[in-house]
Amino acid sequence: AMREGYSTAPDHIRSLGFGAGMGLPNIQKYTDEMRIETEIGTGTTVYMTVLITDAL
């Protein structure tokens, strides 16, 4: 799932422009920290940290 282009979406969904497999790689690229925890039978939690400065 962390590899660009990896997708489990069926072809008809991909033909609509969804399921391109860029979601998690893009989140990782644009956050300061990302952690994924998965527990079988419970689910997956994605933690993201974005540091914001007043330098803008």
Query: What value does the mean pLDDT take over residues 16-45?
Result: 85
- Tell which residue, 18, 51, 11, has the closest CA to residue 34: 51
Tell whether the model's pLDDT for residue 22 goes beyond 70: no
The answer to whether residue 38 scores a pLDDT higher than 70 is yes
> Is the model's pLDDT at 20 over the cut of 80?
no
Over residues 24-45, the mean pLDDT reads: 90
Q: Mean pLDDT highest for which of 1-15, 19-33, 41-55? A: 41-55
Contact in structure between 23 and 5 (CB atoms under 8 Å): no
CB 34 within 8 A of CB 52: no
Domain ranges of the chain: 11-49
